Structure 1
Amino acid sequence: MRLPQAQAAVLEAASATESRTVEALAAALDESPTAVTRAAFELADDGLLDVEEEERESVSLTEEGAEYRESGLPEVRLYRAAVDAGADDDPVSMGELLGAAGLDGPAVDIALSNFARKGYGRIESGAVEAAPDADPESDAEAAALDAVAAGDGTDAPEDALDALERRGLVRREASTARSVTLTDAGVTALMEGVEVADTVGALTPDLLTSGAWRDVEFTEYNVEADAETVHGGREHILRQTANRVKDVLVGMGFQEMEGPHVDADFWINDALFMPQDHPARTHWDRFALSDPRRIDHLPEDLVERVRRAHLEGVGEDGEGYHSPWDEEFARALALRGHTTSLSMRYLSGDAVGDLEPPQRYFSVEKVYRNDTLDATHLLEFFQIEGWVMAEDLSVRDLMGTFEEFYSQFGITDIQFKPHYNPYTEPSFELFGRHPETGEIIEIGNSGIFRPEVLEPLGIDCDVMAWGLALERLLMLMYGFEDIRDVHGTLCDLDLLRTVEVVH
């Protein structure tokens, strides 16, 4: 029997009495497992070998997982520090515990997001209260980390492994283990003798020009053999939705705004008539910059008008906030917590010069908030900002705009609820019904800008505005229950590769 060299070598190395793995054969023949696998399948097609397959799963620690195994999970370290500080009797300030727990940077948010989830206690208004009966020694995720490090990861509880995988602490990989055994026909072929055929795997220019292709034997290809899965690049579903939102708003007559992600508190909050002592402006809710700390250029006349609006109000009945206003705080730099900073730059004329009504502008940009991570909140997300400047606008105009916008995405059951904002009056929140859970979820905030916002900007007509959550729109369109599945470091790559695009 004449066989290509690789097939002949595999046939001779295989055994009729014991099963041998592809890896073992590859090591013995000094060949790649891929070449041995291909030869084994070709021999199996000829009835000379039996190929058995077994699905296996391997679990390994990521770099972050190995670090947490050595130092402890952030939530466990926070709990132990809290107990040491007496937080199981009386709440202790978060600031006192972070240093003791050795937590900083992203580890702080990880600890906060998992502390209550695991029943270690609760965190309210920056104070930590530790549950006295919690037992960090029995933490299932910490035990699973140890098991994975010891090579026993597949024996760890499935829910603990799932949680660690979502957190990016372990890596689970499925593989197919193949082993081969000689058939009776294979044994007979070896007894009769196997001759190595000089085969060619590819047609080359030299073979063509020399004419040698007429005399060589070409290797047969098994087109049904397993091949490595290759995932090509594709546009992220969140980006697809963002681009679609842009197309819809442009079709409704809006122009797009652009501006800095890092901006002065003046543009982010002060121009929006947000008091400087508002809780959302503390270090617990904003990401301030340490270098550089402040902005140098601000329009001085606008700064003065905004300062007076905060201190004195506007109009005959205006009173302002009766609280201090510090220009240095207004000049402080931070990551924008909403894209309304762009609206303030455009409405003031700072971005594109003075605007005359009517005008429609929007942006679909990223914003940053120091929120607690959960199924509907992230530290950074996309906001659909928009505003319309015109004479005699009303709430009916605003509601009609939303109904038209959301109808473009097949969403027709929008609900409205009156709300309070420091910068709009009247104001209301928008809600939509989740298609899978039936739960009513908040999807945006809106209103008509107050005179205290518009008068310092030099605008004497109405402006209606809104901030909508792109990720919440995604949840209503696709039925996702946890936004972390599609956005952030814990996203589900298989879901992103296979999810059907909704048009």
Structure 2
Amino acid sequence: MQLPESQVAVVEAASADEATSVDALAAATELPPETVTGAVFELEEEGLVAVDERVDETIALTDEGREYADTDLPEIRLYEAALEAGADADPVSMGRVIGASGLEGPQVDIALSNYARKGYGAIEGGEITADPDADPSADAEANALDALAGSEETPIDGVEIDDDTLDQLERRGLLDRSETTVREVTLTERAITELMAGIETAETVGQVTPELLTSGEWQDVEFAEYNVEADAERFEGGKVHILRQTAERVKDVLVGMGFQEMEGPHVDADFWINDCLFMPQDHPARTHWDRFALEQPTHIDELPADLVERVERAHREGVGDDGEGYHSPWDEDFARALALRGHTTSLSTRYLSGEQIGEIEPPARFFSVEKVYRNDTLDPTHLLEFFQIEGWVMAEDLSVRDLMGTFEEFYAQFGITDIEFKPHYNPYTEPSFELFGTHPTTGELVEIGNSGIFREEMLEPLGVECDVMAWGLALERLLMLMYGFEDIRDIHGTLCDLELLRDTEVTY
């Protein structure tokens, strides 16, 4: 019997009494594992070997996971610093505790996002508290890191760590799972018979070369068979992020509903972001705890003087015979301060005022799907930056029924038909209400947006003489309702699940 050289080597190295792995055969024959794998499949077709396959799953800490195994998780370091600062008795400035913890860069965000989740304490209004009864020594994630730190790879069946803890470590990028297909080979009786009779090496050619063609030798050689079932290296191609795909879908829907898209700066003056929205300058949301101010430059150079005057008058005196305003401080220097926009309503004020594209005549519909930035505490439904679906309609005699009907038509395009509404307060809309949708996995109500009819105190300084209904919706939370994600950090940010992003298909 004649066989290719690689197959002869495998048959001679394998055993009929004991299964031998492909890796062991590769080591014994000094052939590449992929060559041995191909030879094994071909021998199996010839009935010379039996192949047994199994999938082994192993886990290993990432470099970041090993770092935390040595130095403690960021949230534990934050908790210990909080205790040291006395936060178990009274709230302490978050900046002071972060400085004492020695955390820097991304570790700060990681600590803040996991601190409350694990019950170490609370973070609110720029202050931190520590639960004196919390026990870092019982932290399941920290203990799992310690257990895995001593080995490069560990069979998942060989660790006593619950699945939820492993899933959380993997989601945080502290642990990698890997699956390996193990093939073990055993010689058949036929192979033993052929070995006893003698197996010769057949001269085969693996590929056609220019020399074979020009010399004509290709007519006389024996070509090796091409095995299409042999293992091949997997390559992951790039694809458009599911969030971007959904954003494009939202744009298509709104354009189909007659809207035009708005554009504008991510960094803008507080005047456009808040003052034009009739947001008082002493409102808590306008403090440094809730916004990202610019260090350089700090202020915008120019603002339309007549508009500034009208907006200031509305803040101080109100609008109309019954208007009272806020009777609170108003400072133009404060209005000129630059910050990352906390909502895309800054685009709406630019467009409604006529400063962006000139005067707009009713009826008109505009929208944007753009990124906004807020100094929020990270949790499954909040990020420091996210996408907002901004929209407004300018027309005569608009009502809440018009606004609700618009939402029902919009969300129906994404298969969401159970929208609920709850009355709410905004400084710039009256009436106002929040929108909620039912999460398809948990069944819980998820807040998905805020809306209302712009107040006269906002519209009159902008020069708008008819009704305007407006809204700001969260793109990430729309995604949660569409696909059942429970944590938006799975799809957005440094902790996102790459496999989930690759496997999830956007539906239209």
What's the TM-score bracket when you normalise by the shorter of the two chains?
A: over 0.9
Per the alignment, residue 413 of structure 2 pairs with: 408
| Aligned AA (1:400) | G
Q: What secondary structure does 1:384 align onto?
A: strand
Residue 32 of structure 2 is matched in structure 1 by: 32
Q: What is the deviation of 1:278? A: 1.7
Offset from partner CA, 1:199-248 (integer Å, 9 cap, x none): 22233455445433321211112333444444443333322222121111
Q: Distance in 2 between matches of 1:294 and 1:2?
A: 84
1:117 equivalent in structure 2: 117
CA deviation map 1:158-182 (0-9, x unaligned)? 3222111111111111112233333
Matched AA of 2:3: L
Q: Which residue of 2 aligns with 1:278?
A: 283
Contact 1:147–1:156 (CA under 8 A) maintained in structure 2: no
Residues 389-446 of structure 1 deviation map (CA, whole Å, 9 limit, x = unaligned) = 1222222222222222222223233222221101111111122223333322222111
Q: In structure 2, which of residues 361, 372, 376 is the aligned counterpart of residue 371 of structure 1?
A: 376
User: Residues of 1 paired with 2:305 and 2:215: CA distance?
Assistant: 83
After TM superposition, the structure 1 stretch with the greater mean CA deviation from structure 2, 280-289 or 202-211, is 202-211
Q: Which amino acid aligns with 2:56?
A: R
**SS in structure 2 at match of 1:181:** strand
Q: Secondary structure at the match of 1:287?
A: coil
> 2:79 aligns to what?
79
Aligned residue pairs, count: 503
Q: Which residue of 1 aligns with 2:54?
A: 54
Counterpart CA distance in 1 for 2:28 and 2:332 is 76
Show the counterpart of 1:140.
Answer: 140
Query: Following the alignment from structure 1 to structure 2, what is the Cα–Cα distance between the partners of residues 458 and 100?
Result: 51
Find the residue that maps to 1:141 and give its secondary structure: helix
Distance between the aligned counterparts of 2:327 and 2:28, measured in 1?
84
Q: SS where residue 44 of structure 2 aligns?
A: helix
Q: CA RMSD in A?
A: 2.3
- Supply the AA of the counterpart residue of 2:316: L
* Unaligned 5+ runs, structure 2: none
Give, in whole Å, the separation in 2 of the partners of 1:32 and 1:283: 61
1:260 paired residue among 253, 261, 265: 265
Q: 1:146 to 1:291 in 2, by over 3 A?
A: farther
Taking the TM superposition and a 5 Å limit, the aligned residue runs for 1:23-422 are 23-151=23-151, 153=154, 154=156, 155-157=159-161, 158-422=163-427
Shift of 1:339: 0.9
Amino acid at match of 2:41: F
Do the aligned partners of residues 23 and 295 (structure 1) sit closer, same or farther apart at CA in structure 2, a change above 3 Å counting? farther
Q: 1:297 to 1:105 in 2, by over 3 A?
A: farther
Aligned mate of 1:430, from 435, 457, 478:
435
Partner of 2:7: 7
TM-superposed deviation, 1:469: 1.4
Distance in 1, matches of 2:219 and 2:472, equals 72
Deviation at 1:318, TM superposition (A): 2.6
Partner SS for 1:435: coil
* CA distance in structure 2 between the aligned counterparts of 1:293 and 1:492, rounded to whole angstroms: 37
SS at match of 1:263: strand
Q: Which amino acid aligns with 1:49?
A: V
TM-score by length of 2: 0.92
Aligned to 1:448: 453
Aligned partners of 1:417 and 1:429 also within 8 Å: yes
For residue 499 of structure 2, what is the amino acid of its counterpart?
A: D
The one-letter code of the counterpart of 1:311 is R
How many angstroms apart in 1 are the aligned matches of 2:366 and 2:341?
18
Letter in 1 for 2:228: V
Q: The residue matched to 1:288 in structure 2 has which SS?
A: coil
In structure 2, C-alpha distance between the alignment counterparts of 1:38 and 1:49, rounded to whole Å: 13
Q: Is the 8 A contact 1:367 1:383 kept in 2?
A: yes
Distance 1:438 1:54 in 2: 38
Change (3 A) 1:414 1:191: same
1:475 equivalent in alignment to 2:480: yes
Q: Residue 371 of structure 2 contacts residue 388 of structure 2 at CA under 8 Å; is this kept in 1?
A: yes
Q: Distance in 2 between matches of 1:307 and 1:192?
A: 102
TM-score, structure 1 as length reference? 0.93
What residue ranges of structure 1 are gaps of 5+ in the alignment?
Answer: none
**Contact between 1:5 and 1:196, CA under 8 Å: does it hold in 2?**
yes
CA distance in 1, matches of 2:222, 2:273: 74
Shift of 1:333: 2.4
Aligned AA (2:273):
I
Q: Is the 8 A contact 1:447 1:465 kept in 2?
A: yes
* Equivalent pair of 2:37/2:230 in contact (CA under 8 Å): no
Q: Which moved more, 1:428-437 or 1:159-168?
A: 428-437
Measured at CA, do residues 399 and 280 of structure 1 come closer, stay the same or move farther in structure 2, by a change above 3 Å? same
1-structure distance, mates of 2:237, 2:13: 37
- How far 1:249 moved relative to its partner? 0.9
Please give the per-residue CA displacement for 1:306-338, whole angstroms capped at 9, x wherever unaligned: 233223323333332222223333223222211
In the TM superposition, what is the alpha-carbon distance from 1:156 to its structure 2 partner? 4.6
> Which deviations, in whole Å up to 9, do the C-alpha atoms of 1:120-145 show, x marking residues without a partner?
12233333222222221232211211
For residues 308 and 211 of structure 2, what CA distance do their matches in structure 1 show?
Answer: 78
Q: Deviation digits for residues 276-318 of structure 1, max 9, x if unmatched?
A: 2222222322222323333323333323332332233233333
How many angstroms apart in 2 are the aligned matches of 1:400 and 1:464? 12
Q: Is the Cα contact below 8 Å between 2:269 and 2:338 reproduced in 1?
A: yes
**Partner-residue secondary structure (3-state), 1:150:** coil
Change (3 A) 1:91 1:25: same
Following TM superposition, by how much is the alpha carbon of 1:256 offset from its aligned partner in structure 2, in angstroms? Answer: 0.6
CA contact (8 A) 2:37 2:231 kept: no
Query: What is the identity, as a one-letter code, of the residue corresponding to 1:97?
Result: V
